[in-house]
Amino acid sequence: MTMNLFNQFLSPTFLGLPLIAIALMAPCLLYPSPAPWWQSNRWTTLQNWFIGSFIKQILSPINTKGHSWALLLATLMVFLITLNTLGLLPYTFTPTTQLSLNMAFAVPLWLATVIMGFRNSPTHALGHLLPEGTPTPLVPILIIIESISLLIRPLALGARLTANLTAGHLLIQLVSSAAFSLLLSQTTAASLAVGLLLLLTILEIAVAMIQAYVFVLLLSLYLQENV
């Protein structure tokens, strides 16, 4: 039973080749770049409004030096939202349930913010490791604690996204299995399970969007500390 529940998170293969690359290419196929001669329609207008509002909200507290990250953060946001929501479709695979993929997103971007901070203002970057006014006996301990908290940031980024999406997928599978098994024996209970399944699906759509936003928001906070 346990193996059946977690088999949905295995990367599918075809002729021995992993299909995760095709899943990662799906957002690129769904969001083609408009050509200059295209007429604006409701979809492109809504897309441009959403990206513009997101960029304004994310970059408003950040110094102008960090505004060069606008394109990267907006692209990552749309990419993660698309991957998370497409994974809720039947017979699909969600790449962002893989911790390795999320860490591949989190570690380089977090490391880039840290390197930027040490390059632009090393004194300010090192100052985060020791709060002002710390008693002398506590200095070594606080430096170790702050260093550990700094190093686990990318792990927290990747693990948060993986855990929330994995838990949602498991809940949906458990409730759908219960609804299917009760369909012939207990119709009333099966109907309640189907209603719960619909509510869970709506909740998971919201979670998929919120987790993508939280991932990018935390990256922007790390960027704000280092610019």
- Grade residue 146 by pLDDT with cuts at 50, 70 and 90: confident
pLDDT (mean) for 52-71: 85
pTM of the full structure: 0.83
The size of the chain, in residues, is: 227
Lowest average pLDDT, out of 4-18, 48-62, 159-173, goes to: 4-18
Q: Which of 10-24, 38-52, 80-94, 194-208 has the highest mean pLDDT?
A: 194-208
DSSP annotation string for 73-101: HHHHHHHHHHHHHHTTSTT---GGG-HHH
Give CA–CA dist 113/215, Å, rounded. 14
pLDDT at 189 over 60: yes
What is the predicted pLDDT for the residue at 1? 45
The alpha carbon dihedral of 212, 19, 13, 180 has a sign of: positive
Alpha helices in the chain, H assignment, sequence order: 2-6, 20-30, 42-59, 70-86, 99-120, 122-127, 139-151, 153-182, 187-226
Output Rg (C-alpha) for the chain, integer angstroms: 22
- Grade residue 2 by pLDDT with cuts at 50, 70 and 90: very low
Give CA–CA dist 164/78, Å, rounded. 18
Lowest average pLDDT, out of 34-48, 182-196, 197-211, goes to: 34-48
Give CA–CA dist 147/173, Å, rounded. 40
What is the predicted pLDDT for the residue at 34? 62
